[in-house]
Amino acid sequence: MRTINLKDTLTHQRNFLKTAAGKGRSANSLKCYRLDFEVFNSFLTTMENKEIQNFNKNLVDAFEHFLEKKYKSINSRRRKLQTLRLFFDYLVEKNVYHENPIKKIASAPKSILPPMPTLYPEVFMANDYLRTTALNAESKLEKIIALRNRVLFVLIYECCISVSALSVLEKDDLFLDAGPRILVRPKKRDPYTIPIPEHYKPLFSEYLDLLVSFQNEKFSFKELLFYANSHTILKGSLSPRGIENFFKHIDNHLKISITPKSLRQSGILKWIREGHSEGNLKEWLGVAPSYNFNLYKKYIKDQLESDSKTRDHLDYKSLQV
């Protein structure tokens, strides 16, 4: 077994990322790998000789202790260990290691956290802010960006689409003719569509018409969402980080608590309260048949049993267009 110093490790990590990108891993996955490598490399710098030398049981135990001390969340530790398992599998393929030492760390059971949705008054406040911004836009660019923001908000709240799926939606995935629907194309399963409430059809039509008009003047891209600054549209596809930054802006501007995840959970609660079958919910959310909504149902039950003010907060419904 050869000794790998930190410099060698960084080289192997870069090559691993190139290989992962070549296999079609998403930009978000590659970003997570890089962040997890930073944590692992931070651990290596705490070692006296800064080398992985026969990453033995003592070092495995030390790394596990390092993660437990640094992260309270079981899921955070699970993700970082999974990245390291993939990385050492890669090193085994390259004959750098005979076996994967990270597999000696037992996986903790995944921690399923209860939903922490954005409360309806804050959902309504954010929607009203975005709607007013679009109505008061003074230029064509301000208008198209404001409409994009509203479309993004609706796709998360009304269609419960994940951030990673939003980034790769295309204009051709939107169907408005007979009952508005959006097509989602997962990498590991067949494509499926999610219904969009009928009253949003004018919003999506206006957005598409203006987007096509704008692209004819500037340039063309296939993505439904786009990245822009205050001066111009820069490219198609709004990245997961761009979506998160957009919600940070809303959060800071309105002084509310909202993220893409919390808004999506609000949408899931709305679907449940609307009485959709669990089969439809699983299809639209892209989850496994074994997935259950017990935590969401418990959340609804607990809130309904509390005071009237909380019940008002639970009153998730479609938003004003």
Helices 74-93/57-70 angle, 10° precision: 150
Is the pLDDT higher at 1 or at 280?
280
Span 177-189, pLDDT tens digits: 888 999 998 877 7
Span 28-51, pLDDT tens digits: 788 889 988 898 888 887 765 545
User: Rg for the chain (alpha carbons), in Å?
Assistant: 23
CATH number of 120-313: 1.10.443.10
Contact 118, 262 (CB under 8 A): yes
Is the pLDDT higher at 225 or at 236?
225
- Does the pLDDT of residue 155 top 50, yes or no? yes
Which residue's entry shows tokens 């992260």? 71
CATH number of 4-104: 1.10.150.130
Write the DSSP assignment of 156-172 as a string of letters: HHTT---HHHHTT-BGG
Span 164-174, pLDDT tens digits: 899 999 999 99
Residue 39 tokens, joined: 């944590």
Give the pLDDT of residue 274: 92
Average pLDDT over residues 126-139: 95
pLDDT band at 107 (very low <50, low <70, confident <90, very high): low
> Poorest-confidence range of 4-8, 221-225, 284-288?
4-8
| pTM confidence score | 0.68
Q: What are the domain boundaries of the chain?
A: 4-104, 120-313
